[in-house]
Amino acid sequence: MQRDEQIFELILDEQDRQIHGLELIASENFVSDQVMEAAGSVLTNKYAEGYPNKRYYGGCEVVDIVEQIAIDRAKALFGAEYVNVQPHSGSQANTAVFAAVLKPGDKILGFDLSHGGHLTHGSPVNFSGKLYSPVFYGVDQETGVLNYDKIQEIATKEQPKLIIAGASAYSRDMDFARFREIADSVGAILMADISHPAGLIAKGLLNDPVPHCHIITTTTHKTLRGPRGGMIMMGKDFENPFGLKTPKGETRMMSALLDSGVFPGNQGGPLMHIIAAKAVAFGEALTDEFFRYSLQVQKNAAAMAEAFVKRGYNIISGGTDNHMMLIDLRNKNISGKDAEKALVAAEITVNKNMVPFDDKSPFVTSGIRVGTPAITTRGLVESDMETIVELIDRVLMNHTNEDIIEQVAEEVNELMGERAMFVF
C-alpha cells in the first residue's frame, strides 16, 4: 500500500504548530513519548468486548492484563475502590453514569453551561438535556464563585435525582463535602465530573471528591496528561438507592450497573490501545515527578492570573485555585471571538468562552479561557507567565494590526521553538 503522504504531511504540519506555538487551551496537554507509543500500538487491532476475564472475544489474554493494570493504577492514583477505564471520552463516561442511575425524564442538577459547566451536564443541545430534565446552579454575579446556600435552595425546590459537581471553566476549588450534604438532604446521587482538575486532585493539590461523591467521572487527557479518553470511579461501591433493575429485573450494586452502562449500554469494543496508553499515563501520574509537574501547573496559573489582573483584566472570581482561568474581556472592548482569532494569528491558542451573565451569543462570547497544563509540560515556569501575558495583551490591544501580530508570533516561536516537546 502506498504511504498516505497527504495525511502524514498534515500530521507534520500539526506537530509543527504544536511545537512552535503557545498552547493555552485549558483542556489540552502534550502526552509523553511512551503514552503516544502505546496509543499508536498494535492493540488498536484487538476486539475485547466485555471486561478482563469476562470477554466476548477470544485472544484477550494480553489485553486483559493491560486493562487490569490500568484499573489498578487508577485505583492507586485516586484511592478508589472501583474504576472503569473503558469510556471512549468524558462525554461517554457521563452518558454511561446517567444510563446507570437515571430513567429518561429524571431531574438532574448541573453547573450552567454559560457559567462554566459542560454540555453533558444538562445542556438542551446535548443528550443530557434532551433525555433528562435539567435544572442548573451557577456562580454569583458579584463574586463569580459558587454559592452553596443557593445550590441547596435549588436542590430543595427541584428535588433532583442526580447532582453534578464539576465544570469546564471554573477556576475555584469545589467543596465536595458541602455538595454531599446538599445531595443527602434531597436523596440525590452526587456525581463529580473532575475532567479538568483530575491531575491536580490526584496529587492532593485540590479537594478530593472520592470520599464525598458517590460517583466520579473524568477525562484522561487534560491535567492528567494521558490519551484522549474517559473513566468512571467510585470511592466505595453501594447498592443503587433508586432500586433500578437491570434489563433482567435484578437489583445490582452500582459497580455492576456502571459497568453495564458503559458496555453494553453505551459502547461496543473498548479501545485497547487507548487503555494501554491510559495505563502508561497513570503510571507516570503516580510518580513524584508528576506531583512537581502538577504543582507547577497550579503555580503557573496563579502567576498568570496575577499578571492579567495587574494589566486590568477581569478574571472571573478574581483569580484561580487550579490550572485555568476565565477572562471577561468586556472592559477591554474585544469579543471572545475576535480575541481568539487575533491570538491564533499570533500562534497563541486559546478558546473563546461564554462568561457568567454573558450578553453575547456562544459563537461570539465575551471571554476567553486560558490554562497552563500544556505550557507547563513544555517546561515554562512562573517567570515566563508575565512574558506570555504581555504578549497576549499586546495582541488584544492591537488586534487589527497585522504587523504587531506578526511580531508577537515571531516572539512566540522564539520562546517555544527550542523547547522539548515532551518532558518525560
Binding-site residue numbers for (6S)-5,6,7,8-tetrahydrofolate are 113, 117-119, 361-363
Closest residue to ligand PLP in the complex (CB): 90
Q: Which is nearer to ligand PLP, 50 or 197 (CB)?
A: 197
Active site residue 419: no
Of 49, 181, 306, 382, which is the active-site residue? 49
Q: How far is the CB of 161 from ligand PLP (least distance, A)?
A: 19
Please indicate whether residue 306 is annotated as part of the active site.
no
Question: Is the Cβ–Cβ distance between 122 and 128 less than 8 Å?
Answer: yes
Find residue 233's DSSP bridge partners: 83, 216
**Cell triple for residue 400?**
487589527
Length of the chain: 424
Answer yes or no: are the C-beta atoms of 377 and 19 closer than 8 Å. Answer: no
Total Cβ atoms within 10 A of residue 53: 10
Active site residue 156: no
| Cβ contact 253:237 at 8 Å | yes
> Of the residues 23, 67, 112, 193, which is catalytic?
193
282's CB contacts (< 8 A; 6+ apart) are 70, 73, 74, 76, 77, 226
Residues in touch with ligand PLP (CB under 6 A): 27, 89-91, 118, 120, 166-168, 193, 195-196, 219, 230
Q: Closest distance between ligand PLP and the C-beta of residue 383, in Å?
A: 29
Residue positions in the annotated binding site? 113, 117-119, 361-363
Q: Which is nearer to ligand PLP, 144 or 230 (CB)?
A: 230
| Matching residue, cell 446517567 | 98
Cis amide prior to 264 (ω within 30 degrees) = yes
Please identify which of the residues 95, 217, 219, 320 carries the catalytic annotation.
219
Looking at the Cβ atoms of 195 and 365, the one nearer to ligand PLP is 195
Set 47, 106, 107, 419: catalytic member: 47
Least distance CB 95 / ligand PLP (angstroms): 9
In the residue annotation, 365 being an active-site residue is answered as no
Rounded to an integer, what distance in angstroms lies between the CA atom of residue 232 and that of residue 338?
37
Min dist CB 220 to ligand PLP, Å, is 8
Nearest to 255 by CA among 101, 408, 395: 101
- In a 10 Å sphere around its CB, with 0-12 CB exposed, 13-18 middle and 19+ buried, how is residue 254 labelled? buried
Nearest distance, CB of residue 230 and ligand PLP, angstroms: 6
E strand map for 146-269: 162-166, 189-193, 215-219, 230-234
Q: How far is the CB of 25 from ligand PLP (least distance, A)?
A: 10
Nearer to ligand PLP, 173 or 306 (CB): 173
For residue 27, what is its C-alpha cell?
Answer: 483542556
What phi and psi, each to the nearest 5 degrees, are found at residue 399? -70, -5
C-alpha cell at 264: 453494553
Of 92 and 366, which has the nearer Cβ to ligand PLP? 92
Pairing of strands 351-353, 367-371: antiparallel
Q: What is the largest CA-CA distance in the chain?
A: 68
User: Using only C-alpha atoms, what is the Rg of the chain?
Assistant: 22
The secondary structure of residue 370, as a DSSP letter, is E
Residue closer to ligand PLP, measured from CB, 27 or 294: 27
In the complex, least distance from residue 219 CB atom to ligand PLP, rounded to whole angstroms: 5
Could you confirm whether 328 is annotated as catalytic? Answer: no
Q: Which of 75, 107, 178, 228 is catalytic?
A: 228
> What single-letter DSSP state applies at residue 88?
S
Return the number of the residue (118 or 399) whose C-beta is nearest ligand PLP.
118
CA nearest to 348, candidates 307, 310, 394: 394
Active site residues: 47, 49, 193, 219, 222, 228
